Structures are given as structure tokens and as C-alpha cells.
């Protein structure tokens, strides 16, 4: 058996998994800290993709450099979303938070999608750089520059977030609030401000994910729900409480999808994530990396 096509598929699965990971980390952070289920997360990824596309189209700024513009813009947008919508949800009990945030964010998804169609039409767009078709070939295995760079940028962002959560006062405040917001409040932590910071960081990560997606995939107003589903599957696989676990689970999903082409056929590739989703819920509800 010729293993070269299998290895090549696994390599591309690794690259795709990196995108799944960075897409899921922001959603995991918001849900872990606030118990807010933001199903509009995929639409924020879509928005980040469009921001990156227009920065590249209008000003010719490389999409990997445009991240330094996209992330702050989406961070500010996340602050506005939290203060305008989700701030009221966080005052509810945990069970009501999830239900109400689900309804609000689903409505937000429809709004963002329709605004995107109105502003930019439903045409698919992509960022095509001068080096888009270039790459390295090692032992017959192709490593496109854009895919490699996307994986490296995603990994850097995730490890930077991990360091922020563990080394800074604001990061430790976020972790404390996710563990027990009442105890954190008694310790002098401004819980509402912490919620804003966590949600805005999650939105900024969605913007970064969108910028990376725009380099490798087509951007259109309707991609939001697809990426939300992928992020939700990864969050369930990883479990709450592990940022690095979410990134690892994203890579695991990408590799599983790549391998499934040879096991069950390309037609069932998208089903693999849902099967893993159900199996993890049944066997290990806290996730592969989550705490009991």
C-alpha cells in the first residue's frame, strides 16, 4: 500500500485541525467563564474573515499581518456585544444563562449574516496572496506555506492566551471567575469587568480564526453555522477548563476527519465529528481534557 497519500491527508488534517482549535478556543473561553453559549461565534469568524479580506483588497496588507488589525477590531466589537447584549444574560442563573444566551446569539447570527449579505452580497471571496500556491515538499509530502503559517499563528495565539491566563493578574481573575464567580467577587475581583474581558478575548480569537480561514477557505455570509458546529464539537471533545486541550482536540478532529476518508469514505467525512461528539458525551461527559 502506498502510504504517501495517507500521510499527505493526515498532514492536511493537521492544518485543518489547527483552524478548528483556534476557532474553538474563543468559544470555550466565553462558555467556561460566563456559562454563555454563543452560537454566533461562527458568524464572528465570518466577520473576521471579511475584515481580513477587505484589508488585503484595499490596502494590500498580508492577511497574517492584518491579524494585528483584525484582532483589536473584533476585540472592540466583542466589548460592544457584551455590553449591549450579553451583559444582561450574565445576571441570570447558570441554567437561564445558557438558554437565553442561546436565543440571543442565534438571533445575532441571523443579523450578522443578513448584514454581511447586504454589505458584501452572498458571493464567495478568498484572500489570494502571491505565495498562495507555493510550499515545501519533503519526501513527496507537500507543506503549503499558507497552511503552515496558519498552524504556527494559531499555535502561537493559543499558547499566548495560556500564558496570559496563568501569568497575569487579569488572566488569573478570569480563571478564578470561571471556577467560582461568587468567591472571586468576595476576593475583590470585578466579575462584570472580567466577563467583558473574557468575552472580548474570545471574539478577538474568532477574528484571528477568520483571518486564517480566509487564506485557506472561501468566505461567505453563510459559513457561520458551519464553523460554530465545528467549534462546539471541539469544545465537547476537549471539555471545560483546558485551553490547550481545546487546541489539541481541534487537531484531533482534523486528523480524524482526514483518516475517515480511508475508513468510511469522503462522503461521510463531516459525520465523523458528530459521531465523536456523541461518543464523548456518552463515555466521558467532562471531555477528553476536562476536569470532573
pLDDT tens digits, the chain, 292 residues: what are they? 567 888 999 999 999 999 999 999 999 998 888 888 899 999 999 999 999 999 999 999 999 999 999 999 999 999 999 999 898 888 887 778 888 999 999 999 999 999 999 999 999 998 988 888 899 998 889 999 999 999 999 999 999 999 999 999 999 999 999 888 889 988 889 999 999 999 999 999 999 999 999 998 999 999 999 999 999 999 989 887 678 899 999 999 999 988 888 777 777 777 888 888 888 888 888 888 866 5
Model pLDDT, residue 172: 93
Strands 141-144 and 135-138: antiparallel
Q: Kindly tell me the number of DSSP H helices and DSSP E strands found in the chain.
A: 12, 2
Do 41 and 231 meet the contact criterion of CB atoms below 8 Å apart? yes
- The x, y and z cell numbers of residue 233, run together, are 464539537
224 to 10, 88, 109, 123: CA distances (angstroms): 25, 24, 7, 15
Do 36 and 90 meet the contact criterion of CB atoms below 8 Å apart? yes
* DSSP conformation class of 168: S
User: For 203-222, how does the pLDDT look when each residue is reduced to its tens digit (9 = 90+)?
Assistant: 999 999 999 999 989 999 99
Model pLDDT, residue 291: 61
H/E/C letters for each residue in the chain? CCCHHHHHHHHHHHHHHHHHHHHHHHHHHHHHHHCCCCCCHHHHHHHHHHHHHHHHHHHCCCHHHHHHHHHHHHHHHHHHHHHHHHHHHCCCCHHHHHHHHHHHHHHHHHHHHHHHHHHHCCCCECCCCCCCCCEEEECCEEEEHHHHHHHHHHHHHHHHHHHHHHHCHHHHHHHHHHHCHHHHHHCCCCHHHHHHHHHHHHHHHHHHHHHHHHHHCCECHHHHHHHHHHHHHHHHHHCCCCHHHHHHHHHHHHHHHHHHHHHCCHHHHHHHHHHHHHHHHHHCCCCCCCCC
Model pLDDT, residue 5: 83
pTM above 0.75, yes or no: yes
Do 240 and 32 meet the contact criterion of CB atoms below 8 Å apart? yes
- The Cα–Cα gap between 93 and 168 comes to 28
- The Cα–Cα gap between 45 and 81 comes to 15
Structural domain spans, the chain:
24-223
- The Cα–Cα gap between 118 and 6 comes to 42
Q: What is the dihedral of CA 92, 93, 98, 103, to 10 degrees?
A: -30
User: For 179-200, how does the pLDDT look when each residue is reduced to its tens digit (9 = 90+)?
Assistant: 888 899 888 899 999 999 999 9
Model pLDDT, residue 292: 58
Phi first, then psi: give them for residue 246, nearest 5 degrees.
Answer: -65, -40
Q: Of 52, 159, 45, 65, whose CA–CA distance to 109 is shortest?
A: 45
Model pLDDT, residue 226: 92
Amino acid at each position: 500500500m502506498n502510504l504517501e497519500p495517507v500521510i499527505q491527508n493526515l498532514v492536511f488534517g493537521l492544518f485543518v485541525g489547527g483552524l478548528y482549535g483556534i476557532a474553538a478556543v474563543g468559544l470555550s473561553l466565553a462558555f467556561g467563564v460566563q456559562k454563555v453559549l454563543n452560537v454566533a461565534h461562527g458568524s464572528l469568524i465570518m466577520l473576521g474573515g471579511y475584515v481580513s479580506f477587505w484589508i488585503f483588497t484595499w490596502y494590500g496588507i498580508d492577511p497574517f499581518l492584518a491579524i494585528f488589525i483584525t484582532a483589536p477590531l473584533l476585540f472592540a466589537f466583542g466589548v460592544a456585544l457584551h455590553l449591549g447584549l450579553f451583559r444582561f444574560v450574565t445576571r441570570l442563573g447558570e441554567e437561564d444563562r445558557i438558554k437565553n444566551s442561546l436565543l440571543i446569539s442565534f438571533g445575532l447570527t441571523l443579523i450578522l449574516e443578513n448584514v454581511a449579505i447586504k454589505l458584501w452580497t452572498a458571493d464567495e471571496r478568498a484572500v489570494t496572496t502571491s505565495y498562495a500556491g507555493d510550499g515545501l515538499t519533503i519526501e513527496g509530502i507537500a507543506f503549503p506555506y499558507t497552511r503552515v503559517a496558519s498552524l504556527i499563528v494559531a499555535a502561537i495565539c493559543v499558547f499566548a492566551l495560556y500564558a496570559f491566563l496563568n501569568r497575569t493578574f487579569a488572566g488569573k481573575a478570569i480563571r478564578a471567575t470561571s471556577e467560582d464567580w461568587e468567591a472571586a467577587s468576595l476576593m475583590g475581583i470585578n466579575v462584570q469587568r472580567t466577563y467583558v474581558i473574557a468575552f472580548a478575548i474570545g471574539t478577538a480569537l474568532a477574528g484571528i480564526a477568520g483571518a486564517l480561514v480566509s487564506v485557506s477557505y472561501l468566505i461567505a455570509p453563510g459559513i457561520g453555522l458551519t464553523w460554530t458546529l465545528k467549534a462546539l464539537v471541539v469544545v465537547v471533545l476537549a471539555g471545560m477548563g483546558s485551553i490547550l486541550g481545546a487546541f489539541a482536540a481541534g487537531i484531533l478532529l482534523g486528523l480524524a476527519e482526514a483518516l475517515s476518508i480511508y475508513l468510511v469514505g469522503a462522503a461521510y467525512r463531516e459525520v465523523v465529528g458528530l459521531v465523536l461528539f456523541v461518543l464523548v458525551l456518552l463515555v466521558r461527559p467532562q471531555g477528553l481534557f476536562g476536569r470532573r
